[in-house]
Homo-oligomer: A and B are copies of this chain.
Amino acid sequence: MNLLLLEEADFIAADRVVLADRRFTHMQEIHGVEVGDTLRVGQVNGLMGKATVLRLAGHEAELQVAFDQPPPAKLPLTLVLAVPRPKMLRRLFQTVATLGVPRLILVNSYKVEKSFWQTPFLNPETIRENLILGLEQARDTVLPEVIVEKRFKPFVEDRLPAIAAGTLGLVAHPGPYPACPRAVESPVTLAIGPEGGWIPYEVDLLGKAGLAPVQLGDRILRVETAVTALLSRIF
């Protein structure tokens, strides 16, 4: 945790917070903070700044806080992602938040197993928890928007064209396609498939919505590695 993210409920006054949860434990066990120490803090969806430890009790800490710094810019990106297997999902939310993705749309795809949709990692509270962890890692405060689209065709036909309009639309897909572009200056809409990839019908439909296939080479990457590699190359 490189930034302590504060929620509205933490505030007992405009410049005072009391923490008694995971963040208190982390401050004590990992950072070993003492009264008088200063920490980097941010308000969820707000500014960043500094906190001073005023009081440490056995189960809670009281901090004085001051905010003066905007969070880092987000990427000009909508990321469309086929739902990965549950064990990858937690880290994926963290990574997406860390990298500065402002909007993530999780979609179904032919090769997504139906059971993946049942995972508790898709509960809004769990998604939020993992996004917060990713923001704390990066030193950012602004929660990405996460949209869940369980039906591929209506999403891609009815809603994706408006999302992709005015952006560079890309589908990551192995095959005889152009290499993924580098250092793109315009906004981007990027779709990344499931393990095993999109099926041709899906690539066609994404193409009609304005997303052109591009490839990253012969190596098959885990979805989280693919997300990082693609965003690092494109931006």
Q: Give this chain's copy count.
A: 2
Task: With A95-B225, A232-B228 as known contacts, state yes or no: A220 contacts B2, CB within 8 Å.
Answer: yes
Residue pair B217, A72 in contact (C-beta under 8 Å): yes
Return the chain B residue nearest A228 by Cβ. Answer: B228
Report chain B residues within 8 Å CB of A225.
95, 98-99, 228
Residue pair A222, B98 in contact (C-beta under 8 Å): yes
Interface mask (A78-116 → B, CB under 8 Å = 1, otherwise 0): 000000000000000001001110000000000000000
Residue pair B99, A219 in contact (C-beta under 8 Å): yes
Q: Of the candidates B138, B218, B219, B230, which one forms a contact with A219 in the assembled complex, judged by CB atoms under 8 Å apart? A: B138
Report chain B residues within 8 Å CB of A137.
220-222
> What 3 A-B pairs have minimum CB-CB distances, sorted nearest first?
A229-B232, A138-B219, A232-B232
